[in-house]
């Protein structure tokens, strides 16, 4: 197993922490993992993205030229990254902000209205965790129960006050996706 | 317990665990996270952190700390390392230990901030003026980056010489699981040369200005003998599937890792490729590569430059075997699939030549 995922969106949407949380979960599960943040000539309000590779064996390259999965939180990222997705790959889009009418025909698309779902929880900032919950349900790339059980450890000390909110957000996204 | 950390942060943590008490830095992408990490952790661990006014100041602060007996480190990326060369030459001349981290970026000039391997020659040939060498260590994962930091400090103290850790933008930026439990300062090195105040002992002098040509010549030969000892004792490298290989890829750092991915693919297609990965770029594993040429004819060098280490491979083989080179300079990161395709094309071409 070698799965490459690109998380993308505006700077400030929590795209990097989505990728970091996934990578950290996979590490705690004992998998090989690499996390590569984009660090180009990024600008405030511009696009941010990161690549997470998860594998059962040593990972040769942390770069994904043809990822299996893409998460696009805004229109610009959708346009930019749908073109490099593998044929038959899965694209999760933030349908609160992204219009997918120009999508490729050979990929699967799952739309998640992250802003609306997050607002129901009273905190738009957790839209990224809503998306991550949906992503994990759709891909089964890591164990959702494992993430929930080890959430405090995975999110780290800085987020200790926000565990319940993050848990609710992850579950909202997870339950949004039908079996 | 494993921690998910960037290569830059991992170097910082490993340095502190290895007994580094002085860090002097100046910001440059893609190594900023190291300076950032040290700014936070050094004061916590009782060490000294200074953001210097320039790279040149930082390397001279390292010299000052080292001459006072501290384990000192600085870090930068390519253009910043060029600025530090004067100081590195002085450290080598004064026989002072120091660890210098270079997270290489595309060049020459300002270049860009993407990963590259274009500073190989600068690192392995001394880099500054004068007849000297720096020990050069080139890890290829975040864990190895952390593991190599205590080795770098030990080699620096053991031989009283600057040691370069040669990474690249990718190794610095990417996060991987790292284990730190085994990383520690192994021993204290006796330092009978440091300047601590001459109370109750004869005074000492540390200098590189030797006007007397005879004295300077003797100093150069003394350094030369030290470099010979390093060449005899400190070569480090890794091999992968070379036992039955018909073709050996030679690559280091992040490129070796990409090459390893390519070799795994090639093996599935029954192409007998193997890998030799130099971990010390100086001293270079000349003999070990020459030894391979007894049974292997085909060598394939892959670098993220237009071809620098390939010169050392040529020196190793002394005309034996056949060497091909593939390079991607300027910050481009080729994929394992791309490298596999190129090696495979080369392999079938040389098979044909052999048959005809």
> SS3 string of A55-107?
ECCCCCCCCCCCCCEEEECCHHHHHHHHCCCCCCCEEEEECCCCCCCCCCCCC
CA–CA separation, A19 vs A135, rounded Å?
A: 11
B29–A contact, CB cutoff 8 A: yes
Nearest to B251 by CA among B270, B272, B277, B232: B277
pLDDT computed for residue B39 by the predictor: 98
**Residue B329: its H or E element:** none
CA–CA separation, B22 vs B72, rounded Å?
A: 5
pLDDT mean by block of 10 residues, chain A; 179 residues: 94 92 97 89 75 96 92 94 95 96 94 96 95 98 97 86 94 92
Q: What is the domain class of B238-355 according to CATH?
A: alpha beta
Chain CA centroid to CA A120, Å: 20
Rounded to whole angstroms, what are the CA distances from A163 to A20, B1, B167? 16, 22, 36
A-interface mutation test, from B28, B111, B176, most A Cβ less than 10 A away: B176
* Half-sphere exposure at residue B252, Cβ-oriented, CA atoms within 13 angstroms: 30
Rounded to whole angstroms, what are the CA distances from B25 to B52, B177, B227? 6, 25, 28
Q: Kindly determine whether residue B177 and residue A33, on different chains, have CB atoms separated by under 8 Å.
A: yes
Q: Kindly determine whether residue B170 and residue A20, on different chains, have CB atoms separated by under 8 Å.
A: no
Cβ–Cβ < 8 Å for A135, A20:
no
How much is the ipTM here?
Answer: 0.94
| A36, A41, A60: residue with CB nearest B173 | A36
CA–CA separation, B88 vs B103, rounded Å?
A: 16
Rounded to whole angstroms, what are the CA distances from B16 to A62, B12, B45? 27, 6, 7
CATH superfamily to which B3-191+208-233 belongs? Thiamin diphosphate (ThDP)-binding fold, Pyr/PP domains (3.40.50.970)
pLDDT computed for residue A41 by the predictor: 62
Is the model more confident about B192 or about A64? B192
Nearest CA in chain A to B333: A63
Q: What is the DSSP letter of B189?
A: P
The CATH number given to A2-176 is: 3.40.920.10
pLDDT higher than 80, residue B353: no
CA–CA separation, B343 vs B327, rounded Å?
A: 12
CA–CA separation, B32 vs B105, rounded Å?
A: 13
CA–CA separation, B2 vs B179, rounded Å?
A: 5
Weakest mean pLDDT among A40-54, B180-194, B285-299: A40-54
Residues of chain B with CATH 3.40.50.920: 238-355
Q: Kindly determine whether residue B174 and residue A35, on different chains, have CB atoms separated by under 8 Å.
A: yes
Cβ–Cβ < 8 Å for A148, A120:
no
Question: What's the pTM?
Answer: 0.95
Cβ–Cβ < 8 Å for B108, B121:
no
Nearest CA in chain A to B33: A39
Residues ≥6 apart with Cβ < 8 Å to B81: B55, B100, B102, B119, B122, B127
Phi-psi region of B82 (alpha: psi -120 to 50; beta: other; left: phi over 0): alpha
pLDDT computed for residue B351 by the predictor: 81
Is the model more confident about B180 or about B354? B180
pLDDT higher than 70, residue B350: yes
pLDDT computed for residue A44 by the predictor: 64
**Residue B141: its H or E element:** none
Cβ–Cβ < 8 Å for A8, A135:
no
Residues of chain B with CATH 3.40.50.970: 3-191+208-233
Cβ–Cβ < 8 Å for B142, B173:
no
What share of chain B in percent tops pLDDT 70? Answer: 100
Q: How do A2-10 and A47-55 pair as beta strands?
A: antiparallel
How confident is the model over B244-257, as a mean pLDDT?
A: 97
- Tell me the average pLDDT of chain B: 96
- pLDDT tens-digit readout, B80-127: 999 999 999 999 999 999 999 999 999 999 999 999 999 999 999 999
- pLDDT tens-digit readout, B31-84: 999 999 999 999 999 999 999 999 999 999 999 999 999 999 999 999 999 999
pLDDT computed for residue A42 by the predictor: 61
DSSP sequence for B222-289: HHHHHHHHHHHH---EEEES-TT-SEEEE--HHHHHHHHHHHHHHHHTT--EEEEEESEEES--HHHH
pLDDT computed for residue A43 by the predictor: 64
The shortest C-alpha distance from A141 to chain B (Å) reads 17
Contacts of A155 in chain B (CB under 8 A): none
Rounded to whole angstroms, what are the CA distances from A34 to A25, A105, A138, B174, B229? 12, 30, 21, 7, 38
Nearest to B37 by CA among B57, B10, B75: B10
pLDDT computed for residue B226 by the predictor: 98
């Amino acid at each position: 197993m070698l799965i490459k995922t690109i998380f993308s969106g505006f700077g400030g949407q929590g795209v990097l922490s989505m990728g970091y949380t996934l990578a950290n979960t996979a590490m705690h599960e004992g998998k090989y993992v690499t996390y590569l943040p984009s660090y180009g000539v990024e600008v405030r309000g511009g696009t941010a993205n990161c690549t997470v590779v998860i594998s059962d064996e040593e990972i040769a390259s942390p770069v994904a030229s043809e990822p299996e999965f893409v998460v696009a939180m805004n229109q610009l990222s959708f346009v930019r990254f749908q073109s490099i997705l593998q044929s038959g790959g899965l694209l999760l889009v933030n349908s609160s902000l992204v219009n997918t009418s120009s999508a490729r025909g050979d990929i699967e698309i799952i739309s998640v209205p992250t802003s609306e779902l997050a607002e129901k929880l009273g905190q738009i900032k957790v839209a990224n965790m809503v998306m991550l919950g949906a992503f994990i349900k759709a891909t089964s790339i890591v164990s959702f129960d494992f993430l929930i059980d080890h959430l405090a450890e995975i999110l780290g000390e800085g987020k200790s006050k926000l565990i319940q909110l993050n848990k609710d957000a992850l579950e909202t996204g997870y339950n949004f996706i039908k079996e | 317990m494993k921690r998910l950390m960037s290569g830059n942060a991992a170097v910082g943590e490993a340095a502190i665990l290895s007994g580094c008490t002085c860090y002097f830095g100046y910001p440059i992408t893609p190594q900023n996270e190291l300076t950032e990490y040290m700014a936070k952790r050094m004061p916590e661990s009782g060490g000294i952190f200074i953001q210097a006014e320039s790279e040149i100041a930082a390397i001279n602060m390292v010299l000052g700390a080292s001459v006072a007996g501290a384990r000192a480190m600085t870090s930068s990326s390519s253009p910043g390392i060029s600025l530090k060369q004067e100081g590195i030459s002085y450290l080598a001349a004064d026989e002072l230990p120091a660890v210098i981290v270079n997270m290489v970026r595309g060049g020459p000039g300002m270049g860009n901030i993407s990963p590259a391997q274009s500073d190989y020659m600068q690192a392995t040939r001394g880099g500054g003026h004068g007849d000297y060498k720096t020990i050069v260590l080139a890890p290829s994962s975040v864990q190895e980056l952390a593991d190599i930091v205590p080795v770098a400090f030990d080699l620096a103290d053991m031989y009283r010489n600057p040691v370069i850790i040669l990474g690249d933008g990718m190794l610095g930026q990417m996060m991987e699981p790292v284990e730190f439990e085994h990383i520690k300062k192994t021993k204290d090195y006796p330092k009978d040369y440091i300047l601590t105040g001459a109370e109750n002992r004869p005074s000492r002098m540390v200098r590189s200005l030797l006007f007397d040509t005879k004295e300077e010549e003797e100093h150069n030969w003394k350094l030369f003998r030290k470099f010979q000892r390093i060449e005899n004792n400190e070569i480090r490298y890794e091999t992968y599937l070379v036992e039955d290989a018909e073709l050996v890829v030679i690559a280091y750092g992040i490129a070796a890792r990409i090459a390893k991915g390519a070799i795994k693919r090639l093996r599935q297609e029954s192409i007998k490729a193997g890998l030799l990965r130099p971990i010390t770029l100086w001293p270079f594993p000349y003999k070990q590569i020459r030894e391979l040429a007894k049974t292997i004819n085909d060598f394939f060098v892959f670098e993220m430059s237009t071809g620098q280490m390939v010169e050392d491979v040529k020196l190793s083989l002394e005309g034996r075997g056949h060497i091909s080179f593939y390079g991607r300079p300027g910050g481009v990161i080729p994929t394992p699939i791309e490298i596999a395709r190129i090696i495979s094309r080369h392999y079938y071409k040389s098979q044909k030549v052999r048959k005809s």
